[in-house]
Structure 1
Amino acid sequence: MRRITLGLLVLLGLVLSLLAPGAARADAGDPAYAPLDRPGPTLSVPAATLDAALSCHGDPATGPRPILLNPATSVTPVENYSWNWERVFAAQGRYYCTVTMPFHTFGDIQVAGEYVVHAIRTMYAATGRRIAILGHSQGGMNPRWALRFWPDVRAQVAEVIGMAPSNHGTALLGGCIPGLTTCVPAVWQQKAGSAFMKALNSGAETFAGIDYTNVYTSLDEVVVPHVSSTLTTGDGAIANVRVQDVCPLDPYEHVLTGTVSPATYAIVTDALDHDGPADLARIDRSWCSRLSMPGVDPLDVRSYTPVLFALPSLVSTVLPMVTFSGAPLVRREPALRCYVYAAGC
């Protein structure tokens, strides 16, 4: 009888422990992700495809630190950067490369991460120098996937600068409802709380030896809340800089923060011109009196024609069941790859 009573008490204790809040959180918590130092997998995208996606300009042996320009969701590098940052870097004599992602960067971000890995390795081999990565929106976030799951490239990157980066996703994409509506893969993955976002930020958000500057705006209508752009964990040197703390009257929202904003230009330039990330106390406030960054004439529509062609795709980013890029419409977030987990699949 005692044994039966003891057994019932043990069983009751087990049930209660499973129902306790702490246990419920553990059961519903994150899976065991790959160790931070585990070598990354072989790239699944053919080498010829990766090579064709990378376009480089300038002399790899001279000039300031080489830069990889990484595009936002819905746009190509031409639409995102040809009318602004490419002009700036060409004028500086800086070696820079752009990477074109499948489906206007609407595809699976895990695949985009492979393009970034290949671009880093290729640029490092060509220059013999650690590179900087400058990205807008998803372009400021997805390099962190490469750094998280391919640790060999960390020693080849000196700086990651995100302009309105979607580092923790956005709460704006409520129209993507699993099993009910369809959305393109990258949109599912950039929902706040997605499996992709949990894996991306697992273990550490930043890594030693790399400087991270995250530029964000209080007027962001895409990355919501705007503080989702910021990073706080890991051993990297981090600066989270709100453009309104540099130029209080800066009027630009998500798209223009990464393409036109003179405040963004001042922050990015400070990060590139100094060791470490941007420093709020050091940033040149004289840019606050300008309408735009160098290379952009807001009164000349020809200077930013490329982005006008991108407007349909830009608008479709927040719309379920719509695609203009050829990206597949799927009913749920793409499954995480086996390499993401400590135990594989």
Structure 2
Amino acid sequence: MRSTAFFGLAACLLPRIQAVPTPTAKDADLNPFPANPVELAVKNLNNLVNETLRNPPTNGLFDRLIEDFNLVIATAVPVSIPAAADALKEILVSAPEPSNLFGYAGSLAAAGLSKDNVPDLLQFAKGAVGPENSFKNVNLRRPSIRVFPKADPKDAPFSLSEADLRAAIHIPSSFKYGARGAPNPIILVPGTGATGYTTFVGNYIPLLQGSNIADPLWLNIPGFLLGDAQVHAEYVAYAVNYIHGISNKRKVSVAAWSQGSIDGQWAFKYWPSARAKVTDFITFSGDYAGTINANFLATPGVPLPPAVLQQEAGSNFIKTLRANGGDSAYVPTTSVYSSFFDEIVQPQAGTAASAFIQDARRVGVSNNEVQQICPGAPAGSFFTHEGVLYNAIGFALLKDALSHDGPGQVSRISDLDSLCTNFMTPGLDLSDFLLTENAILIAALTIVTYPEKVTIEPAIKAYASRRPGN
């Protein structure tokens, strides 16, 4: 049963909620807290990066960001999903809107749009993780097939040990290992700055656990997916083969958010053994072409984690990934994304969307922009980079993909009109909304505290330099 406390902490917001004064009719959905001095801290989070560029050096920038994050406390708490959605939209469309990820994360915390408070999340970012987020999982089952050092002679070499690769796989106690009558496994791959648990605890973990749709497990990749994305792909490739080998040789599916999409695509490109064991690749807010919104994430000249630089449009990583057919799917792929408004990945609309993937191999692809599927309806309204994870159409497409050959197809969703009236996937609630938004605040904090920041992306691995993939 899912814990109601995100990191095993006491319900840290409860005392604040109980202390809230009786709302007025105007504020019936948003309870005000007593005033506190957070406005300046949020402004500083927005301005410090640009100020540092105007007045170098950057030494001390991230310590100053941490100081300001520690000053941010919630000045309000939403008590309904519509109020939370309106508050989120106000942050991103207000004037002035956040100028960088840190300012956005600070605004989320100040608006009460996070399940946990900043000091607790800072401790998490510094490594105080619980078992569901562990980077050191113990998986003793031996696979029935060869998975290391190579499952196929054509596979790229792993740079990590098998022990390290296996330790990133978190298999919950609910997992059935491909038992008779159990659904096929699904591997959940997180996004930048997050673990599998923090990414999916407010959406696909509760939606899938105990269901007949798929049997979920997730990856908690060391360094919160902030290191070299080429190495992150190794974890995906290994997990596909390992889970197949300990689950009665059941085929698996992979669901990924944000950077997880390109980690998976890189894995399928350079580890062909993984392709034959995957029924579906379902991605949310993917960035197959990187993002031109670089100033939001990676202001030029400021040292940042390697994976952030690798996701800039035109980076060597993105160019290598897309070369020689890497812009087309290797396995049946369902891509779900939002054009209004992905604050991280741009462009994200139409065929120019970074999440849009081609199908030169004719394995089956569907590209699904939620605003085009449910125009003018709640499910096609305002959805952020992280918000796509709780979108009702995204879950419907995942279910459709897993119950049919090929990718998810909108044309097969029989209750589409009804689903479009839902802002969130039925079965999720306000707590899940806040847990999902936590992923962005956690990403900002893990980026700030990441110790190995760089100004130049990692070199392309030799295997990718000398052979194109196929």
Which residue matches 1:132?
253
Two-structure CA RMSD over aligned residues (Å): 2.3
Compute the displacement of 1:40 (Å). Answer: 2.5
Q: Distance in 2 between matches of 1:77 and 1:328?
A: 21
Partner of 2:171, secondary structure, is: strand
Which residue matches 2:383?
252
The one-letter code matched in structure 1 to 2:217 is C
The 8 Å contact of residues 397 and 408 in structure 2, kept in 1 or not, is answered as yes
The answer as to 2:235 corresponding to 1:108 is no
The 8 Å contact of residues 225 and 232 in structure 2, kept in 1 or not, is answered as yes
Partner of 1:97, secondary structure, is: strand
1:203-244 deviations in Å (ceiling 9; x for gaps): 123456x21111111112211000111111431211111111
Partner of 2:276, secondary structure, is: helix
The one-letter code matched in structure 1 to 2:336 is V
1:189-210 deviations in Å (ceiling 9; x for gaps): 10011110111112123456x2
Compute the displacement of 1:65 (Å). Answer: 2.5
Q: Distance in 2 between matches of 1:216 and 1:83?
A: 18
Partner of 2:223, secondary structure, is: helix
The normalised TM-score by structure 1 is 0.79
Which residue matches 2:336?
215
Compute the displacement of 1:172 (Å). Answer: 0.7
Question: Would you say how many aligned residue pairs link Structure 1 and Structure 2?
Answer: 297
Which residue matches 1:28?
none
Which residue matches 1:263?
393
The answer as to 2:168 corresponding to 1:47 is no
Which residue matches 2:54?
none
Which of 331, 339, 344 is the equivalent residue of 2:463? 339
Which residue matches 1:163?
284
Compute the displacement of 1:324 (Å). Answer: 3.1
1:54-113 deviations in Å (ceiling 9; x for gaps): 012421223222210000112111211122211121131532220111221111101101
Which residue matches 2:367?
240
Partner of 1:268, secondary structure, is: helix
Gap runs ≥5 in structure 2:
1-151
TM alignment of 1:1-345, pairs within 5 A: 39-57=154-172, 58-62=175-179, 63-93=182-212, 94-127=214-247, 128-174=249-295, 176=298, 180-205=301-326, 206=328, 210-219=331-340, 220-226=342-348, 227-235=353-361, 236-248=363-375, 249=377, 250=380, 251-258=382-389, 260-283=390-413, 284-285=415-416, 286-298=418-430, 301=431, 303-304=432-433, 306-307=435-436, 309-315=438-444, 323-342=447-466
The 8 Å contact of residues 154 and 207 in structure 1, kept in 2 or not, is answered as no
The one-letter code matched in structure 2 to 1:231 is I
Seen in structure 2, the aligned counterparts of structure 1 residues 45 and 230 have a Cα distance that, compared at 3 Å, is same
The 8 Å contact of residues 313 and 325 in structure 1, kept in 2 or not, is answered as no
Seen in structure 2, the aligned counterparts of structure 1 residues 309 and 245 have a Cα distance that, compared at 3 Å, is closer
Partner of 2:458, secondary structure, is: coil
Gap runs ≥5 in structure 1:
1-36, 317-321
Seen in structure 2, the aligned counterparts of structure 1 residues 122 and 295 have a Cα distance that, compared at 3 Å, is farther
Q: Distance in 1 between matches of 2:153 and 2:291?
A: 29
Q: Which segment drifts farther, 198-207 or 148-157?
A: 198-207
Seen in structure 2, the aligned counterparts of structure 1 residues 95 and 338 have a Cα distance that, compared at 3 Å, is same
Compute the displacement of 1:156 (Å). Answer: 1.2
The normalised TM-score by structure 2 is 0.59
Q: Distance in 2 between matches of 1:90 and 1:43?
A: 31
Seen in structure 2, the aligned counterparts of structure 1 residues 306 and 343 have a Cα distance that, compared at 3 Å, is closer
The one-letter code matched in structure 2 to 1:43 is F
Aligned-pair identity (%): 29
The 8 Å contact of residues 103 and 327 in structure 1, kept in 2 or not, is answered as no
Structure of greater relative contact order (alpha carbons < 8 Å, 6+ residues apart): 1
